[in-house]
Amino acid sequence: MQWSLCLVLCGLLAGTQADPGALLRLGMDIMNHEVQTAMEESHILEKMAAEASNPQTGGKAIKGLSNMKVKDVLEPVITLNFVPGVGIFQCVSTGMTITGKSFTGGNMEINVVLNITATDRILQDEETGTPVFRSEGCEVILVNVKTNLPNNKAINKFVDSTLRKVLPGLMCPAIDAVLVYVNKKWTNLTDPMPVDRMGTVKYALTSPPATTASHIQVDFSPVVQLQEGQLIPLATNGSSPEFPEGSAKDSQLLLSDTFLTAELALLQKSLEVNLKDKRVRKLSQTTRTLAGFIPQVAKSYHKPKPLLIKVKINKPPKVTMKAGKSLMHLHGSLEMFAARRHGKHPKSLFRLETHIGLEIHYSVHENRLQMATSLDSLLSLSRESSSIGDFQETALTGFITDYLQKAYIPVVNDVLHVGLPLPDLLAIDYNLSELDVVEDALVLSLKME
């Protein structure tokens, strides 16, 4: 009981304390696109026109008007504005013709141009944890009304007041129906997404989305979890990541270096190569090459033997970013073996501790962040053990560098090829985004096609 209470409370505390590891900023371009497509997908105005014309429902809607039909619904024009602290103010301008038989038996036609306005408040759904829009204060504003009835003040007044009474009930559900379509596009946002078979990433919200004058911002505290269930915490530093200045209007996604570091921890084991591993290639060099750097090798190996290397990664890889350049730091050990005759285990010659810096080149493919690396520098190399006596490890710098470039980096890139999942929302096609490495973060500028 106490334990389960802790699970709840500790979870809550951990949730509240977490710094965001990813930020999403949605500008007007994306919101417009989303609402417009939701409007088209929902066919909402056509549906409402049909509903209004249904003798069972709409037919009774306007008193004194029978056989009512709604036709010629005008292509709606949607205008959106951000309301700071609230969400979006939405105005749908449209028009239609309402026809029917008046109580006098004559054909009546009303041409009405109207605006439907509402405030779409953005919240966080308590159950699913995803962002959700809810409309408030829907109103119908009559912009223009024309009828084929005699232009008579009393009739005008009657038509006007009837429309004012009837139209909100007819039109406001349209706003809600469209929001259902917009909200649907957030539904998979907080689902865990796989990173290879090693684990998952879940884009959990840090707090409810916030609205400013130029965008909606969603802060994420991503949950990175190994397949066995263990959580990989994001190294927090007290400082939350921030968008670079000067691009407030654009839609952007920011991924912090600490978040990418946590994700790469999922791949740590895959970055190791063992001697039995198919990925370990026999080096083109032999003990004879090595003898050029370490004279002792010449004594032990008169005949050249193929060389093999085992790579162990001692710490989770770490990603760092400076404007325009991102590195992956790998701390590991390289153990060199000489192959022996069939059936005999290769003989360990020496083991070196290394710290290597790989430059990361980012791209996006199929809504996943792709990384490809190239060797930037061998930051340290020290001898940990040796079965062939003392030697100067610095003599091996060139040899090791060459090995890393030709044999090990391809292994790393192969592992990274799985890509890291990006937040799945609003049918954003990350394929079109521009990528920028800034201080401590990667920024994707999101574009609509």
Residue span binding ligand NAG (CB under 6 A) among the ranges 51-59, 132-140, 184-192, 406-414:
184-192
Short-list 11, 390, 21, 36, CA closest to 237: 21
C-alpha distances out from residue 90 to 31, 35, 36, 221, 295, Å: 11, 9, 11, 30, 79
Output the smallest distance, CB 253 to ligand NAG, in A.
Answer: 16
Q: How many CB atoms lie within 10 A of CB 425?
A: 21
239 part of the interface to ligand NAG, by CB under 6 A? yes
The span from the CA of 44 to the CA of 42, in Å, is 5
Q: Which of 366, 414 has the CB closer to ligand NAG?
A: 366
115 part of the interface to ligand NAG, by CB under 6 A? yes
Site for ligand NAG in 66-95 (CB under 6 A): 79, 91, 93
Tell me the HSE value of 216 on the side-chain side, using a 13 A CA sphere: 26
Output the smallest distance, CB 203 to ligand NAG, in A.
Answer: 14
Q: Which of 294, 360 has the CB closer to ligand NAG?
A: 360
C-beta of residue 343 within 8 angstroms of C-beta of residue 323: no
Residue span binding ligand NAG (CB under 6 A) among the ranges 121-129, 182-190, 280-288, 404-412:
182-190
Site for ligand NAG in 3-62 (CB under 6 A): none
Site for ligand NAG in 185-204 (CB under 6 A): 185, 187-188
326 part of the interface to ligand NAG, by CB under 6 A? no
Listing DSSP states for 397-429 in one string gives HHHHHHHIIIIIHHHHHHHHTT-EEPP--TT--
Output the smallest distance, CB 141 to ligand NAG, in A.
Answer: 5
Q: What is the DSSP letter of 76?
A: P
Output the smallest distance, CB 432 to ligand NAG, in A.
Answer: 8
431 part of the interface to ligand NAG, by CB under 6 A? yes
Residue span binding ligand NAG (CB under 6 A) among the ranges 68-76, 98-106, 183-191, 330-338:
183-191
The span from the CA of 218 to the CA of 34, in Å, is 16
Output the smallest distance, CB 94 to ligand NAG, in A.
Answer: 10
* Backbone CA torsion sign across 118, 121, 126, 129: positive
Output the smallest distance, CB 430 to ligand NAG, in A.
Answer: 9
What residue has token string 């408040």? 121
Sheet holding 193-195, edge to edge: 193-195, 199-202, 223-226, 231-232
Angle value at C-alpha 93, between 90 and 94, nearest 5 degrees: 140
Output the smallest distance, CB 346 to ligand NAG, in A.
Answer: 39
Site for ligand NAG in 340-399 (CB under 6 A): 366
Residues in contact with ligand NAG by CB under 6 A are 79, 91, 93, 115, 141, 143, 184-185, 187-188, 237, 239, 366, 429, 431, 440
